[in-house]
Amino acid sequence: MTIIREFEKKCAVCGKTSKQPVLMSTNAWGYPDLDFRPSEMQRSTMSTWLVECPHCGYVASNLENELEASQDILKSDEYLTCEGNEFKSRLSERFYKHYLISRAENDFGSEFLSLLHCAWTCDDADDELAVEMRKMAIKSMDKIVVESDEEKNNLQIIKADLLRRSLQFDRVISEFKDFILEDKLKNDIITFQIELAMKKDSECHTVEEVTTRVVSKPH
């Protein structure tokens, strides 16, 4: 069950307060997409993942978090216009603005996630900018330094989906044809991505399709 409540939040930038949604609880039933986008009901909580101050335009996961970059970014043309990207949804704009803030703060992990989530919202709005957001997310991913093999492998799984869904089918095949993981499910996901790329399939697919495909494979 998803529970969202509103609370008064004081903006760390301008000091003014506003009512903002806060996610209290949720759950996910079913399988995620191949890029780890969660299933419902968690999927429908994206409007609470970031909030925006109605007074100064600051975007953050919590408006009470300090802005590490210069406050001038909130008044810049690139921020106010999302660098000229005309998104179809306000939620896409919010994630893109958070990407710009994260980029200014050299927070590479947040920068990447903001672009990934922006792509998801573009999908929901049937926005052609989803492809461009995925291309940008791939470039942003290359900046991330991870410590564990699991994190590295998870990023590679997401990268395979980002490449395929941004129509870079040849790169999926060339970069992942010899990519082998010890985790069977993750390895099956990569194999499935390559098969989809060979068919030039750029549609959204879920992990359930991989498990069904593996289970139903004849012995």
Instruction: Give the whole-angstrom CA distance, residue 201 versus residue 66.
Output: 42
154 belongs to a structural domain? yes
* pLDDT(130) > 80: yes
Shortest CA distance to 100 belongs to which of 138, 132, 70?
A: 70
72 belongs to a structural domain? no
97 belongs to a structural domain? no
Instruction: Give me the domain span that covers residue 177.
Output: 146-219
178-192: per-residue pLDDT in tens? 999 999 999 999 999
Half-sphere exposure of 34 (CA within 13 A, CB side): 27
134 belongs to a structural domain? no
Number of domains the chain is built from: 1
213 belongs to a structural domain? yes
20-34, 66-80, 117-131, 184-198: lowest mean pLDDT where? 20-34
First to last CA, the chain: 40
Q: What φ, ψ does residue 116 adopt, rounded to 5°? A: -60, -45
109 belongs to a structural domain? no
pTM recorded for the entire structure: 0.94
Evaluate whether 3 touches 22 at the Cβ level (below 8 Å). no
55 belongs to a structural domain? no
Task: Give me the chain's average pLDDT, please.
Answer: 95
Instruction: Give the whole-angstrom CA distance, residue 111 versus residue 118.
Output: 11
94 belongs to a structural domain? no
